[in-house]
């Protein structure tokens, strides 16, 4: 323990060196605005700015890119809350409650909750990273296809909570998401499937960001215009010291949810190819499932902002763990970071900690510093973000439309995806109009490909024997947790029905 603390101390000193600290500050600031721009996100930000880092030494370069990664995780919440457009796929779950909070005049509370939850999630995950890197990396390796499938079942089990009391509509929404996730080529045979109208463009599948921006950007805009006739203006928020202090005092309301999202996010982030998007969605689903006030989720519950933000920030740190200790990227962004490290002559893997301790502990030290820098920047810029909400919706709606179109086209470089985004936006509007929950469909399209891949790999390796999921201890535990989560709402209903006659008799 003393050795770890001394190495961490040296890493923190290295992070505070003028050049490295400047890289942290610039990376966090750039990441904050890149994350807030719809369609960009951490993957594109790191890829675009990778060549710039060749101007500085390798350690400073990786510190800059890592800080950019954390900043983009924070920044994704900004447009999700203020405009209702996810800055990236990792911030989709933040829209569920962040947007209703902004519409009811609590944008400052939502933005502060997102910043503080991101900070707590990042800090908890860095502490876990520091103390348990080797054993956690070894444990993550025990997750084969069976365990991954069982973990996805846990995520799907949270859909029952997300759907409220209308279980049939929830299941229908899930099935829509799974159908859209299956568009493209079959992962085993390679045959095309669900190619609507024989259009070759569907062979590449439907990008998740296209769906998310369409449903939450275009769909929300149409819904708002229909119900307000364009006369809506968001409640103006006066930022005062008293209001800031009141927001700080409300941390205790969402602290347990934030802690749970942090642990879930970090663990999911350590799994190769999982990433921050499933982590944030699972954190949101579990927060709603275990909340005493689950019905308020989706209507402006601050815990619904804190849970996914803690989850995606914890996952961003967690995804660094398999990259550094095993040389296996835990997310698309860390895959780009891995490429950058190899370019600079660093070889991620088990020997990295012994061969390049200065680099490793300097990077870990920068994670602690970057968390403080980013939360300070985020809170300081809240008045700037709030100004967006002061605009009348007649001005805001065209801006949202342009951002949606540019965001999708800049990401995919295909006009087909832009038209598809508009079509999916209309579908999202109709689902909302008919009171179908949109969140389960969004979650299903994220987790659908991961679930299918792990299911089919498991059955192929076991020659079609379904008992393979029960024979493995970790997989069995996850399946039992999923069954418990699905049963929980039904048990609650039964208890409620038994209490009602007793209360009426009294």
**pLDDT (mean) for 448-454:** 83
pLDDT of residue 269: 80
Tokens of 487: 């049963």
Band of residue 273 on the pLDDT scale cut at 50, 70, 90: low
What's the pLDDT tens digit per position in 363-404? Answer: 888 888 988 888 888 888 877 777 766 667 677 778 778 878
Banded pLDDT at 175 (limits 50, 70, 90): confident
The DSSP code sequence of 224-280 is HHHHHTT--BPPP----HHHHHHHHHTHHHHHHHHHHHHHHHHHHHHSTTT-HHHHH
> Which tens digits make up the pLDDT trace of 209-218?
788 778 877 8
- Res 329: pLDDT: 67
- Tell me: pLDDT of 263 over 60: yes
Residues 113 and 304 sit within 8 Å (Cβ to Cβ)? no
The overall average pLDDT reported for the chain is 79
* pLDDT at residue 180, rounded to an integer: 87
Question: In Å, how far from its chain's centre is CA 327?
Answer: 23
In this predicted structure, the answer to whether residue 234 has a pLDDT above a threshold of 60 is no
Q: Is the pLDDT of residue 38 over 80?
A: no
Higher-confidence position of 242 and 449: 449
pLDDT computed for residue 171 by the predictor: 80
The reported pLDDT for the residue numbered 113 is: 87
Contacting residues for 364 by C-beta, under 8 A, at least 6 apart: 8, 11, 126, 129, 130
Average pLDDT over residues 49-59: 77
Q: Stretch 217-243: mean pLDDT, rounded?
A: 66
pLDDT for the residue 313 = 87
Residue 501: pLDDT band (50, 70, 90) is: low
| 54 has pLDDT over 80 | no
> Which residues, other chains included, contact 104 with Cβ-Cβ below 8 Å and sequence gap of 6+?
235, 300
- Phi, psi at 446, each rounded to 5°: -75, -50
pLDDT at position 410 is: 75
pLDDT in tens, 14-24: 888 888 899 99
Mean pLDDT, residues 144-170 taken together = 73
Confidence of residue 40 (pLDDT cuts 50, 70, 90): low
User: What pTM value is reported for the model?
Assistant: 0.73
Q: Provide the 10 A C-beta neighbour count for residue 2.
A: 6
CA distance 336 to 133: 21
């Amino acid at each position: 323990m003393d050795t770890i603390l001394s190495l961490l101390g040296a890493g923190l000193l290295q992070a505070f060196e003028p050049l490295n600290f400047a890289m942290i500050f610039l990376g966090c600031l750039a990441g904050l605005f890149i994350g807030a721009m719809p369609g960009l996100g951490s993957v594109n930000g790191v890829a675009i700015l990778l060549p710039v880092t060749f101007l500085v030494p390798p350690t400073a370069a990786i510190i800059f890119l890592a800080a950019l990664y954390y900043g983009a995780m924070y920044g994704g919440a900004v447009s999700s809350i203020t405009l209702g457009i996810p800055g990236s796929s990792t911030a989709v779950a933040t829209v569920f409650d962040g947007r209703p909070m902004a519409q009811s005049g609590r944008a400052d509370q939502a933005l502060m909750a997102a910043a503080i939850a991101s900070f707590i999630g990042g800090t908890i995950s860095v502490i876990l990273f520091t103390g348990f890197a080797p054993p956690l990396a070894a444990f993550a390796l025990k997750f084969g296809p069976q365990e991954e499938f069982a973990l996805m079942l846990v995520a799907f089990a949270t859909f029952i909570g997300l759907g409220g009391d209308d279980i049939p509509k929830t299941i229908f929404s899930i099935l829509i998401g799974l159908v859209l996730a299956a568009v493209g080529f079959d992962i085993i045979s390679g045959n095309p499937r669900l190619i609507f109208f024989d259009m070759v463009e569907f062979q590449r599948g439907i990008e998740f960001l296209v769906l998310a921006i369409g449903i939450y950007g275009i769909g929300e805009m149409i819904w708002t215009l229909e119900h307000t006739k364009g006369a809506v203006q968001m409640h103006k928020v006066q930022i005062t010291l008293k209001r800031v202090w009141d927001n700080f005092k409300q941390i205790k309301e969402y602290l347990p949810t934030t802690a749970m999202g942090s642990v879930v996010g970090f663990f999911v982030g350590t799994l190769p190819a999982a990433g921050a998007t499933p982590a944030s969605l699972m954190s949101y689903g579990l927060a709603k499932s275990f909340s005493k006030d689950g019905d308020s989720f989706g209507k402006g519950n601050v815990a619904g902002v804190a849970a996914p933000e803690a989850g995606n920030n914890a996952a961003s740190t967690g995804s660094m763990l398999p990259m550094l200790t095993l040389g296996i990227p835990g997310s698309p962004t860390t895959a780009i970071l891995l490429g950058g490290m190899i370019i600079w002559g660093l070889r991620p893997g088990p020997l990295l900690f012994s061969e390049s301790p200065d680099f490793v502990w300097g990077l870990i030290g920068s994670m602690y510093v970057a968390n403080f820098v980013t939360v300070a920047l985020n809170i300081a810029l809240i008045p700037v973000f709030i100004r967006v909400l002061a605009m009348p919706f007649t001005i805001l709606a065209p801006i949202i439309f342009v951002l949606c179109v540019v965001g999708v086209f800049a990401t995919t470089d295909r006009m087909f995806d832009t038209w598809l985004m508009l079509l999916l936006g209309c579908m999202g509007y109709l689902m909302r109009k008919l009171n179908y929950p949109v969140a389960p469909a969004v979650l299903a399209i994220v987790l659908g490909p991961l679930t299918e891949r792990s299911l089919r790999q498991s059955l192929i390796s076991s020659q079609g024997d379904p008992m393979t999921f029960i024979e493995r201890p970790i997989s069995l535990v996850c399946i039992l947790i999923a069954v418990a989560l699905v049963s929980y709402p039904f048990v609650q209903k039964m208890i409620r029905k038994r209490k009602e006659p007793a209360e009426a008799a009294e």
